[in-house]
Every structure is written in structure tokens, then in C-alpha cells.
């Protein structure tokens, strides 16, 4: 009896939270699939017609925005790796007693609401704002120069908002490296750059991989940066989904497009995690 009770213990502990995730996370993905295969409108109601053609429609119609989103997500991720790696490396190897202080400073933006941070950039980069205005007055820049409503502003905003997600896992991976391995490399006459390229870099890659997932997914599916910092030429797939769902209330199209984005990203992430080991990616992401 007591043995059975002990066997059931983990299930009893998981049940309440597991039920919540099943009902409000797993089932909704099915509900969205079902909604995407319906036809109709808000007034006459939606009927389940298994109209798969909606998927073809949305992919052809919003092809440009899909491609743009993936390009922006990719650029954001690459720039973030380049910016984040040296910081993570410096904090992990030279941070000394102040490691946690430096990490805290890197995480400081997270204490300000995401939307508000992005609006602060809109303010800073405004055509006649506090940065560009003086430069224009001094004729350093032409009067019609602008940063807002360009790809640079949107990708810059994305990098700004997600950079800490890249620094943190790389730092964790670097921090875990056994210092005696470096001593060994040194003893075996490896130069500093050889030791870095053949010992440190390979051992830190799991951190980079975790950072890629944590940055690429939110950057590709974001629409807040594109709305606040971009213009009509920077519309991302998230903007389309938002408009279709909330303003047009064209639920089938919106649901179909959402499904396309979800499957594209999740297949990518799972294939990636499988190739590198789920545990590793999840573990470093969690830490």
C-alpha cells in the first residue's frame, strides 16, 4: 500500500500544474489548428470545413513578411553572438569577485518593461530627437537623415532587447570549464590562441547554442520592435498575425499563419536540440 503511494507521489505532485499546462498550453495548439481549418466570418459564425487551402493562401500572400522575419531573426542572432561572446568571456575569466555584479548590470534592462525600453529607443532615435537633432544642426548629418523606419532600427532594437539572453548562457558554459584543462593545454605548449580555439571555444559552444534558441525564437516572432521602431517597409510576420487576429478578426487566416510560424520555429528548434542534445540546451537555458 505504502509502496504504491510512493509510486504515485510524483504524479500527484505534477497533476495540478500538468493539468493547467495541458488545458491552456497543449489543447489550445489543437484548437488553433481546428480554427485554421474553418471558414466563415464573425457574424455568420465559423464552420469546420477542413479548408487546407488557407495555408497556401497565407504563405503566398505573406511570403515577404515571413522571409523578412526570418532574416531579421537571423541577423539579430548573429549580431548578438558577436556582441555577447567577448562580454561573457571577459566576465567569466576576468570578472573576479565582481562576476555577479557585472551579470546584474547586463540584466538591468529586464527591470524595465519590454515595451517601455523599446519606446525609449524610439525617443532616442527620433528624427528630431536628442541624438539626431544636434548632429543635423551641426550639419554632420543631412537634414533628411533618419534611423527610425529602417531595418537598422528594427534589428538594433531586437539585438538590444534580446542580447542578455545570449550573454547569460554563454557565460554559464564558460564558467563551467575546468581551469585545469587550460593548465594542461599550457603544459602541452599550446599558445594562448590555440588554447582558446581548441579548448575554450568548443566547450563553450553549448552555451552559444542555447543562446541561439533563446534569441532567434523571440526575435523572429516579435512585432513590438517592428511597430515602434519600424515603418511600412519593416512589417514582420508578427504584425500580420496581430492585425488578422485582433483588428480583422479573420480567425482562420490568423490561426493558419500562426501555425506556420510555430511549426517552422519549433521544428527548427527541436531538430537543433536533437542534434545537440535536448538536455544540454534546456539545462543551460534554465541556468
Partner 1 sequence: MSATATATGVRPPAVARRRKRRDKAPVLHAYTWLVIGWLSLPILVMILFGFNDTKGRFNFTWQGFTLQWYRELFQIQDLTTALVNSLTIAIIVTIVSVALGTGIGMALGKYRFFGRGAVDLVLFANIASPEITMGTALLSLFVTLHVSLGYWTIVIAHVMFDIAYVAVTVRARMAGFDKSLEEAARDLGAGSFTTFRLVTLPQIFPGIVAGALLAFALSIDDYIITQFNAGSTQTFPLWVYGASRLGAPPQVNVMGTLVFVGGLLLVLVNMSLLRRRRV
Window 226-255: residues binding partner 1 (CB under 8 A): 228, 238, 241-242, 245-246, 251, 254-255
Minimum CB distance to partner 1, residue 155 (Å): 15
DSSP state of 46: E
Question: CB pairs under 8 A, 24+ apart, for 263-271?
Answer: 264/70, 265/217, 265/220, 265/221, 269/213, 269/217
Q: Measured from the CB atom, is 115 or 143 closer to partner 1?
A: 115
Site size toward partner 1, by CB under 8 A: 90
The residue range among 53-61, 135-143, 200-208, 256-264 that interacts with partner 1, by the rule CB under 8 A, is: 256-264
Annotate each residue in 167-206 with x if it binds partner 1 (CB under 8 A) or - if it does not, as one string: ------------xx--x---x-------------------
Q: Where are the beta strands (DSSP E) in the chain?
A: 38-41, 45-48
The residue range among 31-39, 53-61, 144-152, 195-203 that interacts with partner 1, by the rule CB under 8 A, is: 31-39
Give yes or no for a contact between 164 and 110, defined as CB atoms under 8 angstroms apart.
yes
Q: Is residue 82 within the footprint of partner 1 (CB under 8 A)?
A: no
DSSP lists the bridge partners of residue 47 as 39
Q: Name the one residue in this structure whose C-alpha cell is 568548443.
A: 202
Give yes or no for a contact between 71 and 218, defined as CB atoms under 8 angstroms apart.
no
Q: Measured from the CB atom, is 61 or 128 closer to partner 1?
A: 128
Q: Of residues 151-170, which lie at the interface with partner 1 (CB under 8 A)? A: 160, 163-164
Q: Which residues contact 70 (CB under 8 A, 6 or more apart)?
A: 220, 264
According to CB under 8 A, which one of 65, 204, 220, 253 is a site residue for partner 1?
A: 220
According to CB under 8 A, which one of 152, 205, 267, 282 is a site residue for partner 1?
A: 282
Q: Is residue 134 within the footprint of partner 1 (CB under 8 A)?
A: no
DSSP lists the bridge partners of residue 48 as 38
Q: Is residue 62 within the footprint of partner 1 (CB under 8 A)?
A: no
Q: Is residue 110 within the footprint of partner 1 (CB under 8 A)?
A: yes
What does the alpha-carbon distance between residue 245 and residue 48 come to, in Å, rounded to a whole number? Answer: 18
Amino acid at each position: 500500500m505504502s509502496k504504491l503511494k510512493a509510486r504515485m507521489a510524483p504524479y500527484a505532485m505534477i497533476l495540478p500544474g500538468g493539468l493547467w499546462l495541458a488545458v491552456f498550453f497543449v489543447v489550445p495548439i489543437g484548437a488553433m489548428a481546428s480554427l485554421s481549418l474553418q471558414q466563415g466570418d464573425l457574424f455568420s459564425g465559423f464552420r469546420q470545413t477542413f479548408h487546407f487551402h488557407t495555408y497556401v493562401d497565407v504563405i503566398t500572400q505573406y511570403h515577404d513578411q515571413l522571409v523578412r522575419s526570418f532574416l531579421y531573426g537571423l541577423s539579430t542572432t548573429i549580431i548578438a553572438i558577436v556582441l555577447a561572446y567577448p562580454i561573457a568571456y571577459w566576465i567569466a575569466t576576468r570578472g573576479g569577485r565582481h562576476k555577479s555584479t557585472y551579470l546584474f548590470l547586463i540584466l538591468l534592462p529586464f527591470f524595465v518593461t519590454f515595451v517601455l525600453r523599446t519606446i525609449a529607443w524610439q525617443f532616442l532615435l527620433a528624427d528630431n530627437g536628442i541624438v539626431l537633432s544636434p548632429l543635423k544642426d551641426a550639419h554632420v548629418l543631412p537634414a533628411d537623415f533618419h534611423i527610425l523606419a529602417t531595418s537598422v532600427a528594427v534589428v538594433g532594437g531586437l539585438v538590444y532587447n534580446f542580447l542578455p539572453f545570449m550573454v547569460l548562457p554563454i557565460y554559464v558554459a564558460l564558467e563551467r570549464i575546468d581551469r585545469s584543462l587550460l593548465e594542461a593545454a599550457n603544459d602541452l605548449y599550446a599558445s594562448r590562441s590555440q588554447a582558446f580555439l581548441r579548448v575554450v571555444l568548443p566547450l563553450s559552444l553549448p552555451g552559444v547554442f542555447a543562446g541561439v534558441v533563446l534569441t532567434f525564437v523571440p526575435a523572429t516572432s516579435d512585432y513590438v520592435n517592428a511597430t515602434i521602431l519600424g515603418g511600412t517597409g519593416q512589417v514582420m510576420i508578427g504584425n500580420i498575425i496581430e492585425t488578422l487576429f485582433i483588428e480583422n478578426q479573420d480567425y482562420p487566416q490568423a490561426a493558419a499563419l500562426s501555425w506556420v510560424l510555430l511549426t517552422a520555429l519549433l521544428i527548427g528548434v527541436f531538430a537543433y536540440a536533437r542534434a545537440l542534445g535536448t538536455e544540454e540546451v534546456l539545462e543551460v537555458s534554465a541556468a
